[in-house]
Amino acid sequence: MTNKYSLKNDVRSPELLRLTLEDMTSEGDTYAYCNGEKINVFGGIRGEEVVVEIIRYKRKGKSISSGFVVEVLKPSPYRINAPCSYFGKCTGCQWQHIDYQHQLILKQETVLRELQAYQSLQNVHVSNVLPSPELFNYRNHARFTVRNGASLVFTNRLTRKFVRIDNCMIMAKGINEILGKLQDKCSETRQLSIRYGIHTGESLVQPKLHNPNITEETGQTHYREQLLGNTFRIGSPSFFQVNTKQAENLVDLIKNSLSLGKSDVLVDAYAGVGTFAVLLAKHVRKVTAIEESYSAIKDASINTEAIRNLEYIHGKTEHVIDKIGVDSTCIILDPPRSGCHPKVLEALAKTKIKRIAYVSCDPNSMARDLDKLVNHHYRVTKIIPVDMFPHTHHVEIVAIIEYERNN
């Protein structure tokens, strides 16, 4: 079984090795050993026997060996033909060659593996992964590099080669349409960002381009998107979930898992443009949102102007968490990939807030923070992985945590 994405003309070394692949890595690759050396392998599946084309490079002074599967000698039962012609040359998707149902199992295993590193989390149950409503054309945000004249490209993670992209299968159709209008016309910049409203059809292209041959509007300061019938303004620097339809499911999941009611006072930490705060305000007595980004606060001031039971506090969560009221009953933590600042977790332990929804896209930092909360008399009641990023190794996770002691 020969794989269609051989990179023989695109690698730094022509070395070929026959390998049996072992487990998955944190970057979505597999790995194998050869003469005692560990080799990361892109495009494989655990247990396969394959021929791998090796590249060697240095990272932080260390010699690293990686490779790409160029021939499958003994395929996994979960192997499928990757539908994208760029797969392998572009490493943005790591798992297009894996059956989707097995992708979900691998993501569940990823979360379990990180939890197992902590004694306090050994017995925590991890639910099946919530599948994405759409497997392709789901991403509402694309970032391109401009190289080779004016081509819009992605960069291969291992070879660092540039790959011209004319149609990305996981990007929204609106993004691909704009890509087609801008391709080969962007020599005035080195980076390009396209954002698109799945429900509104509005777009944002940054930076402002001045090429007279470009007919697409560029340089917008913001665009709008709708979630569950609510319209959100999103500025160019502001964060917004990349999978719009799955983000709607995420909101419902948090609402139901926290059992929100009209007597609850909710804190939305790392609130961004107000997604959770706006959509959950009608289900509780009051919402206090915390956000440090000026851009997100500006967007939120518009997104929340009609909501009377919601207030925003501007500042880093670790600096203002002590200002939340003693009547707060539950909190949503949606920190960056690095996780929560230790001061946030310490403050929660002091307030003894009853229920926490911890939302994370990094299983490692999430497990570290959950361990700290458990050691402060909290209990993890459920963990639900959510597939926000089909065909990649990334996974969103919702952990529901409750305070156990009243003294």
Distances (CA, A) of 173 to 121, 133, 169, 234: 41, 16, 9, 19
Assess whether the region 16-79 and the region 141-235 belong to the same CATH fold: yes
What is the SS3 assignment for 163? strand
Residue 191 CB neighbours (<10 A): 11
Q: Would you state the pLDDT for residue 326?
A: 81
The yes or no reply on domain 141-235 and CATH 3.90.1300.10 is no
The tokens 């070394």 sit on which residue?
Answer: 13
Q: Is 369 helix (H, G, I), strand (E, B) or coil?
A: helix
Contacts of 144 (CB under 8 A, 6+ apart): 152, 153, 154, 165, 179, 191, 192, 193, 194
Phi–psi pair at 371, nearest 5 degrees: -60, -40
Distance CA 263, CA 253 (A): 19
Q: Which CATH class is domain 104-133+240-403?
A: alpha beta
Paired tokens of 151: 């081509």
Q: Which residues pair with 250 in a beta bridge?
A: none
For residue 212, give every residue at least 6 positions away whose Cβ sits within 8 Å of its Cβ, in sequence order, or none.
Answer: none
pTM of the model: 0.92
In eight-state DSSP terms, residue 136 is S
Cis peptide before 385 (omega within 30 of 0): no
DSSP state of 407: -
Domain boundaries, the chain: 16-79, 104-133+240-403, 141-235
The residues pairing with 234 across neighbouring beta strands, listed in sequence order, are 223
Q: What is the pLDDT of residue 4?
A: 38
Q: Cβ(338)–Cβ(346) under 8 Å?
A: no
- Contact status, residue 127 vs residue 384, Cβ threshold 8 Å: yes
Question: Which tokens in the block code for residue 145?
Answer: 């590099």
Residues near 63 by beta carbon (within 8 Å), at least 6 away in sequence: 56, 57
Q: What Rg, from alpha-carbon coordinates, does the chain have?
A: 23
CB 258 within 8 A of CB 286: no
Task: Give me the pLDDT at residue 65, please.
Answer: 86
Give the integer Cα–Cα distance in Å for 245 and 347: 33
The CATH T-level fold of domain 16-79 is OB fold (Dihydrolipoamide Acetyltransferase, E2P) (2.40.50)
What is the per-residue pLDDT across 133-178, written as a single tens digit (0 to 9) for each?
Answer: 999 999 999 999 999 889 999 999 988 899 999 999 999 999 999 9
**Angle formed at CA 402 by CA 397 and CA 406, multiple of 5 degrees:** 160
Q: What is the pLDDT of residue 13?
A: 43
Q: At 342, which amino acid appears?
A: P
pLDDT < 50 positions in the chain: 1-13, 407
